[in-house]
Amino acid sequence: MPIIECVPNVSEGRRLEIIARFVDAIRAVAGVRLLDYSSDASHNRSVLTLAGEPAPLKAAILALFEQAVATIDLRTHKGEHPRMGAVDVVPFVPVEGVTMADCVSLAKETAAEVATRFGVPVFLYEDASTNPARKNLEDIRRGEFEGLAAKMAKPEWKPDFGGDTPHVSAGAAVIGARMPLIAYNINLATDRLDVAKKIASGIRHSSGGFRFVKAMGITLEDRKVVQVSMNLTNYEKTPLYRVFDVVKREAARYGVNVLESEIVGLVPAAALVATAKYFLQLEGFKHDQVLETRLRQSK
């Protein structure tokens, strides 16, 4: 039984009766599980986490588009978070028994149907992108809904599916496939923000660090300590343990200890198993030696 995770971001975080409609539309699809959802009023945005096999997942995303296009009008939408569509971003994430290529196929099929059924143009992103200049979400979304019509008038911003103009109220959507993202923070036993910033700068891709790390240094005001706050965008290629070890070593350079680390939200078991393997120097360990994995496989 292949399992794909899907984490649609929707541009509505205030009207709870509307968010309830989205949740109900997804839950009505047999074979899809809604693992989590959260709404942020200041962002005016909701993030939903779904899981299931490809066909029901596609049906659930189409049901979500149907509700969102009918109820969200970006011409009057305000919020702190950048957005350009009613359903703003839809990543498909491989979890078990599926490849990234399967997720890319699902993203393209879903995108084609979104454009046809709802008249919402779709840009493909991350692993589903067919254009290196249109891989990063931030690049695609730059200018937001307000700048979208002008942007799409340029030949290099013709969408992957649908017409060359935004949907009048629902804008455009970004649909794609990516690895699971791990929100990982390391707290340092100091209030020296410069140390957290220097370490963040050293480990993040944008300033010369690991390929799949985004990082910044911040202060946790209530605790009077600093944090290296990170997103790990490919835990297979840039693993948790390597990031932890390097942060710990860099901190020691400034006479600072690691206080603790934290994972925010969900993490694939494989990321933790790889961490245990590393520190225990485990050789020859196979993922199906994990009792729970064997249980799932033998169903």
Instruction: Tell me if 196 sits within 8 A of 217, measured CB to CB.
Output: yes
Residue with tokens 């059924």: 117
Q: State the sign of the Cα–Cα–Cα–Cα dihedral 17, 19, 24, 25.
A: positive
Measure CA 173 to chain center. Answer: 14
Least spacing, CB of residue 235 vs a second copy, in Å: 11
Q: Counting contacts by CB under 8 A, is residue 259 touching a second copy?
A: yes
Asked if 30 interacts with a second copy (CB under 8 A), we say no
Binding mask 91-130 for a second copy (x = CB under 8 A): ----xx----------------------------------
Q: Judge whether 81 counts as a catalytic residue.
A: yes
Out of 40, 53, 218, 241, name the contact with a second copy by CB under 8 A: 241
How many beta carbons lie within 10 A of that of residue 239, not counting itself? Answer: 21
Taking CB under 8 A as the rule, does residue 164 contact a second copy?
A: no
23 binds a second copy (CB under 8 A): no
CA distance 124 to 230: 25
CB 177 within 8 A of CB 127: yes
Stretch that binds a second copy, among 9-17, 102-110, 145-153, 262-270 (CB under 8 A): 262-270
126: left (phi over 0), alpha (psi -120 to 50) or beta: left
Q: Does position 266 bind a second copy by CB under 8 A?
A: yes
117/294 with CB nearer a second copy: 294
Alpha helices in 119-239 (DSSP H): 137-141, 148-152, 193-203
Rounded to a whole number of angstroms, the minimum distance from the CB of residue 279 to a second copy is 4
Residue 234 binds a second copy (CB under 8 A): no
Q: Give the Cα separation of 81 and 74 in Å (integer).
A: 13
Query: Of 76 and 295, which has the nearer Cβ to a second copy?
Result: 295
Helix spans in 166-208 (H): 193-203
CA dist 71 and 183 (Å) reads: 31
Query: Which residue in 81, 167, 205, 287 is the catalytic one?
Result: 81
Residues recognised as catalytic: 81
* Residues at the site binding a second copy, with contacts judged by CB under 8 A: 3, 5, 33-36, 51, 95-96, 180, 187, 240-241, 244, 258-263, 265-269, 272-273, 275-276, 279-285, 289-296, 298-299
